[in-house]
A and B are shown apart, each in its own frame.
Chain A
Amino acid sequence: MAHCERASKPLLQCLRTTYTRSLPAVQARGFQSSAAVAEAQAEQTQPFHKNPDPSLVSSPRLERRLMRQGTNPIGSRRRRAALQSSANLPFEQLPYQCFQEARKVLLEDRTEKLKEIESMRQKIARVEAQTVEEAGGEQVQKSRVRAMQLHLERLKIHADINDPLVKRKFEDGLGDMSKPIYRFLADRKWREYRRKILVQRITQMNVVPDVLPHCDPIVETKLYFNKRQVQPGDYVEARVSTEAPKLDIQMFERGEKLVTIAVVDPDVPNVEADSFDFKMHYLAVNVPISAVNTKVDLAQLAADSQVVLPWLPPVAQKGSPYHRLSVFIMEQKDSQPLDFAAVKAKETDRDNTLLRTLQARYHLKAIGAHLFRSQWDETTLEVMKEIGYSGADFELRRKRVEPLPYKRRNPSSFR
Chain B
Amino acid sequence: MKVLVAMSGGVDSSVAAALMVEAGHEVIGVTLKLWEGPGGAMPTAGCCTVSDSEDARRVAAQLDIPYYVLNYTDRFKVGVVDRFLDDYLHGRTPNPCIECNRTVKFDHLLDQAGEFACDMVVTGHYAQNTYRDGFWRLGRGVDPDKDQSYVLAMLGQRELEQVQFPVGVQTKAETREIAAGLGLRTAAKPDSQDICFVGDGDYRDFVRKHSDEAERPGVLVDTAGTVVGEHEGIINFTVGQRRGLGVTFGEPRYVVEVKPESATVVIGQRSDLAVRSIVLDQVTWVIGQPPDRPAVTVQYRAHGEANPAVFAMEDDQVLVHFDRTQYGIAIGQTAALYDGDEVVGSGIIVA
A binds B: no
**A contact residues vs B (CB 8 Å cutoff):** none
